[in-house]
Amino acid sequence: MGLFSRRKSEEEDDRSLLEISNDSGDHWVADIPTKGVKETEKALRDAGVERDDDERLVNTYQASRIVDSRDSNQHRYRSERVVDEAEDLEDSYDREDVSDLEDGP
């Protein structure tokens, strides 16, 4: 195992949520391995599903006009990695070599 390689269990635990929806009320959510997200998104684009960019509309002038003018049956997708809020992602201690420490005064 290399310095930057991941353990197999970490790869299996790395999950993403994929959401497909439209303005008519259709909504579908899938939990998939993160390593398959790019391939899945490509397949969705090839099938005519657009990327969901609604978050960018928050800072757009007349966002409601943009939403009202689009096809309500057009499916859009978005994906996000699942994050365990309880997981500590940073080390809480220094990894200095013990042999570098001085014995004291």
pLDDT mean by block of 10 residues, the chain; 105 residues: 51 85 93 95 96 80 82 92 71 58 57
Give me the pLDDT at residue 50, please: 92
Radius of gyration of the chain (CA): 22
pLDDT of residue 54: 79
- CB-based contact 33:14 (threshold 8 Å): yes
Tokens representing residue 86 in the block:
């309880």
